[in-house]
């Protein structure tokens, strides 16, 4: 039985006070509702230390970054390394979010290097894949996702692959209010698990966690999480309200 994950991607939202209030709100609701799943908060870089301190104090959640640079250190103004994330107690990191693929031209080859770098520091990559609307309409989404998986993950050895989380995020569903149906999502999750099985074997395929992301909220989470191959969610908008986020975590606990 795979333990479910509910991860909140705050993106570039909230000032420091708002971020602190949200982390406190999440911790209080965890105390009250005792959700039984892995909760990950992915705030912007400047709030990682505060979130990590709170995670240490309460033990209710893990901390994830939203991005990492592919180099170890050096003259890369404005960038943040895996070593820096590790030194702040960051346990997870989102890699290859569609917004980074789109606005910062991140391709599968670069993402493969970022994933390797994170694994060197025992940080779990949450690797995002997903098709844009035109690809879904042209029925090429399986090819797109296969390429994203093969080019960024198939160079890993089995020991590294064990420590990867995958998030299927159809781009047409992110921030749009148009959620994939549970059947649409399950079909792709099953496809991804089969790809992992073919390359890395059944044990890894059975244990790897595949999250759904894209307008997942407190109303639709339980139907999505009821699917056999959906192991939780990567949550954007709904992770900015403590009640909604923890309601989703409670639904993942059933």
Residues noted as catalytic: 97, 169
Pick the closer one to ligand PEP by CB: 124 or 205: 124
Among positions 23, 41, 85, 216, the unique one binding ligand PEP when judged by CB under 6 A: 216
- In DSSP terms, 175 is beta-bridged to none
Binding pattern for the stretch 92-131 against ligand PEP, x by CB under 6 A and - elsewhere: ----------------------------------------
> At CB < 8 A and 24+ separation, what contacts does 48-53 make?
48/85, 48/88, 48/90, 49/88, 50/16, 50/19, 50/20, 50/23, 51/19, 51/23, 52/88, 52/89, 52/90
Within 10 A of 76 (CB to CB), how many other CB atoms are there?
A: 12
- Using CB positions, name the residue nearest to ligand PEP: 236
Pick the closer one to ligand PEP by CB: 54 or 211: 211
Site size toward ligand PEP, by CB under 6 A: 13
Query: HSE-up of 123 (CA within 13 Å, CB side)?
Result: 31
CB of 28 to ligand PEP, least distance (A): 22
Q: Does 26 bind ligand PEP (CB under 6 A)?
A: no
> At CB < 8 A and 24+ separation, what contacts does 142-147 make?
142/188, 142/191, 145/188, 145/191, 145/192, 146/191, 146/195, 147/108
Pick the closer one to ligand PEP by CB: 55 or 129: 129
Pick the closer one to ligand PEP by CB: 200 or 233: 233
Q: Of residues 155-184, which lie at the interface with ligand PEP (CB under 6 A)?
A: 169, 174-175
Pick the closer one to ligand PEP by CB: 62 or 200: 62
Among positions 35, 96, 170, 213, the unique one binding ligand PEP when judged by CB under 6 A: 213
Distance CA 212, CA 234 (A): 6
Select from 116-124, 156-164, 190-198, 210-218 the region that touches ligand PEP (CB under 6 A): 210-218
Distance CA 59, CA 80 (A): 25
Q: Does 70 bind ligand PEP (CB under 6 A)?
A: no
CB of 75 to ligand PEP, least distance (A): 30
Contact residues: ligand PEP, CB under 6 A? 9, 169, 174-175, 213-216, 234-238
């Amino acid at each position: 039985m795979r333990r479910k994950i509910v991860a909140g991607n705050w993106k570039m939202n909230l000032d420091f006070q708002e971020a602190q209030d949200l982390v406190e709100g999440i911790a209080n609701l965890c105390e009250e509702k005792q959700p039984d799943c892995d909760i990950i908060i992915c705030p912007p870089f400047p709030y990682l230390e505060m979130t990590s301190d709170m995670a240490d104090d309460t033990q209710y959640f893990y901390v994830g970054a939203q991005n990492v640079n592919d180099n170890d250190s050096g003259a890369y103004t404005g960038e943040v390394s895996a070593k820096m994330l590790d030194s702040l107690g960051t346990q997870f990191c989102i890699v290859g979010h569609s917004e980074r693929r789109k606005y910062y031209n991140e391709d599968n080859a670069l993402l493969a290097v970022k994933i390797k770098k994170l694994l060197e520091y025992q940080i779990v990559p949450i690797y995002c894949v997903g098709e844009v609307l035109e690809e879904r309409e042209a029925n090429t989404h399986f090819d797109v996702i296969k390429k994203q998986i093969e080019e960024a993950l198939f160079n890993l050895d089995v020991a590294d692959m064990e420590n990867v989380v995958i998030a299927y995020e159809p781009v047409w569903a992110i921030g749009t209010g148009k959620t994939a149906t549970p059947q649409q999502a399950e079909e792709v999750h099953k496809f991804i698990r089969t790809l992992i099985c073919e390359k890395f074997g059944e044990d890894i395929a059975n244990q790897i966690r595949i999250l759904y992301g894209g307008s997942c909220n407190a109303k639709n989470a339980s139907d999505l999480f009821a699917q056999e191959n959906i192991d939780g969610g990567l949550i954007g908008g709904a992770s900015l309200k403590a009640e909604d986020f923890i309601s989703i975590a409670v639904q993942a606990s059933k």
